[in-house]
Amino acid sequence: MTRVIKTVKEWNELYKSENLSASQLGFVPTMGALHRGHASLIEKSVADNRKTAVSIFVNPTQFNDSNDLQKYPKTFEQDFAMLEEYNVDYLFFTSYEELYADKFAYQVHENSFSKILCGAFRSGHFDGVLTVVLKLLNIIKPGRAYFGEKDYQQYKLVKGMAEAFFLQTEIIACPTVRDEDGLALSSRNLLLSPEEREFALNFPRLLKANKSCDEIKFELEQLGFKVDYIEEYDGRYLGAVYAGKVRLIDNVIL
Ligand code: AMP
């Protein structure tokens, strides 16, 4: 049974009563609408740790577009069934009021890497991400936390924050999970029409096509994508594009 915890106080009580300790606790933060990508992080945590906690929280401070926040898919019942199926011990399912009693007056800013790639197009996005991750790590107190390489810049920034602030949680990267046709799994894929989904397949196909960034960008634009960026970083090609109104990100190892 997955136990649902809604407040920090409840979590602190449970941490004591269940004799939890960082060395035995894995944590997977999510925004819900769970899919096999999330499941791969959960499986790794369940394998590595005596107990696993997952959080579902659609974090408003990381959305620079209120429309995007409103449309973000919510599938709580299926999510909960998946957590039970994967033997997750705890679901931390809290509210904005609980996490942001300070009304976002206190924020984590990163001044360098968060300004390029996605950061150049989504002002304030990574401040929201880093702030909520710091809050969640301080509440849950896990020894290990699992992040997907699908959101490569996010993973690197979280890892950098953990080092900069001497956090006691090890940040662990997990490889990108794709559908059989190559599209990286993402909660936002639920917002694609069947035609848009078919069209979106060109994005991973071209990222892997052994071409230069400029060529990939050019070809995507020729096909009708709006391209935020295609750039090389850390031995990877990273990109962000729009298929219709849905923003997709992906990256491949070169
Ligand atoms: P999200 O719910 O989109 O905030 O994602 C929660 C975590 O799952 C993040 O660490 C993501 O990087 C990770 N994740 C999302 N999609 C995938 C995927 N296709 N493969 C691996 N990890 C993923």
pLDDT in tens, 115-126: 999 999 999 999
- Token pair 């729009």 is found at 242
Q: What is the pLDDT of residue 198?
A: 98
CA 37 / ligand 1 centre spacing (Å):
6
Q: What is residue 133's predicted lDDT score, i.e. its pLDDT?
A: 99
Q: Give yes or no for residue 30 CB within 6 A of ligand 1.
A: yes
Q: Is 189 in the pocket of ligand 1 (CB under 6 A)?
A: no
CA of 184 to the centre of ligand 1 (A): 10
DSSP character at residue 184: B
**Atom of ligand 1 lying closest to residue 146 CA:** 10
Whether residue 44 contacts residue 146, with contact meaning beta carbons closer than 8 Å, is answered with yes
Give 186 Cα–ligand 1 centroid separation in angstroms. Answer: 7
Tell me if 186 CB under 6 Å of ligand 1.
Answer: yes
* pLDDT of res. 174: 98
Whether residue 63 has its Cβ less than 6 Å from ligand 1: no
Residue closest via CA to ligand 1's atom 15 equals 37
- Cβ atoms of 240 and 247 within 8 Å: the answer is yes
Domain with CATH 3.40.50.620 in the chain: 3-174
**153 CB under 6 A from ligand 1?**
no
The response to whether residue 144 sits with its C-beta less than 6 Å from ligand 1 reads: no
CATH code matching the domain that covers 3-174, chosen among 3.40.50.2300, 3.30.420.40, 3.40.50.620, 3.40.50.300: 3.40.50.620
State phi, psi for 217 to the nearest 5 degrees.
-60, -45
Please report the pLDDT score of residue 234 as a whole number.
96
Q: Could you give the 3-state DSSP secondary structure of residue 159?
A: helix
Mean model confidence pLDDT for the chain: 98
**Residue minimizing CA distance to atom 12 of ligand 1:** 148
Instruction: Quick: pLDDT tens for 177-204.
Output: 999 999 999 999 999 999 999 999 999 9
- Report pLDDT for 146: 99
Ligand 1 centre distance from Cα of residue 125 (Å): 16
pLDDT of residue 59: 98
Catalytic residues: 38
- The whole-number pLDDT of residue 79 equals 98
Residue of 122, 151, 247 with the most ligand 1 atoms within 8 Å of its CB, for mutation: 151
pLDDT at 138: 98
Query: What pLDDT, on a 0 to 100 scale, did the predictor assign at position 217?
Result: 98
Render each residue's pLDDT in the chain as its tens digit; 254 residues.
999 999 999 999 999 999 999 999 999 999 999 999 999 999 999 999 999 999 999 999 999 999 999 999 999 999 999 999 999 999 999 999 999 999 999 999 999 999 999 999 999 999 999 999 999 999 999 999 999 999 999 999 999 999 999 999 999 999 999 999 999 999 999 999 999 999 999 999 999 999 999 999 999 999 999 999 999 999 999 999 999 999 999 999 99
Instruction: Kindly report, as residue ranges, where domains of CATH 3.30.1300.10 are found in the chain.
Output: 187-249
CATH number of 187-249: 3.30.1300.10
Task: Give residue 168's pLDDT.
Answer: 97
Whether residue 62 has its Cβ less than 6 Å from ligand 1: no
Write down the pTM of the prediction: 0.98
Hey, whose CA ends up nearest to atom 11 of ligand 1?
A: 148
Give pLDDT, residue 117: 98
